[in-house]
Amino acid sequence: MRESDVITIKIDGRPIATSAGKSVLQVAKENGIRIPTLCHLDGLSDVGVCRLCLVEIGGKLVTSCTTPVADGMEVRTDTEEIRQHRRTVLELIFAEGNHVCAFCPSNGNCELQDLACELGMEEVRVPYSYPRNRIDATHPRFLIDRDRCVLCGRCVRVCAEVEGAHTWDFAERGRSVRVITDLDIDWGDAGSCTDCGKCVEVCPTGAIIRKGAATAEMEKEPELVADLLERRGDV
């Protein structure tokens, strides 16, 4: 990095020298500053859909994963207002799905569950939606329970950006939005699926799992994306 490329920002009052082109989240991670995330995953493009990585810049709340750093920028990551917004967002995510941890294969190995503990979410103050989406178990090795899906888009992005299969996508809008395979057909009939299992590993909840996994037995390796790209020389 050339001296002319160096910019200085402040995160929680701490001066940090970095380079333009990076996101606030990236710079924070590089400097050991924790910002909660759910849709973000190293190696995949950032979309800012989960809203959990909110930070304050210039009196406004913005998603740190999609906001590029700028010289002189001052960022606050851990105010009471930010913590309240994150807890509210998390409550809405829980209310929109079926996240009964006691019966989930990812219990104890779930990023959503970990965030609830980290952010001190003790209750859900909004009515539950109680969705009744059909479980698609037509794939020979994997299944998807859309009631546990948080619409983070990791499966869509890893399938498109890393595997290149473009099997997963979003359909519909608003409260009806959901992930689909190919042109909204059963996963087992999706001819584009390469059976690689990357979507299983990056899913942060128990939505996409390997068949046969009982309660609390599902362990995943989301870091494989960054490792794979590094081996390919794409990072």
pLDDT tens string, the chain, 235 residues long: the values are 555 589 999 999 999 999 999 999 999 999 999 999 999 999 999 999 999 999 999 999 999 999 999 999 999 999 999 999 999 999 999 999 999 999 999 999 999 999 999 999 999 999 999 998 999 999 999 999 999 999 999 999 999 999 999 999 999 999 899 999 999 999 999 999 999 999 999 999 999 999 998 888 899 999 989 998 998 887 6
Virtual CA dihedral for 195, 199, 201, 203, nearest 10 degrees? -150
- CB neighbour class for 132 (10 Å; exposed up to 12, middle 13-18, buried from 19): exposed
| The pLDDT of residue 5 | 82
- CB neighbour class for 138 (10 Å; exposed up to 12, middle 13-18, buried from 19): middle
Q: Domain 84-232: which topology?
A: Alpha-Beta Plaits (3.30.70)
| The pLDDT of residue 2 | 58
Q: Parse the chain into domains and list their residue ranges.
A: 3-76, 84-232
Q: Domain 3-76: which topology?
A: Ubiquitin-like (UB roll) (3.10.20)
How many other CB atoms sit within 10 Å of the CB of residue 202?
Answer: 24
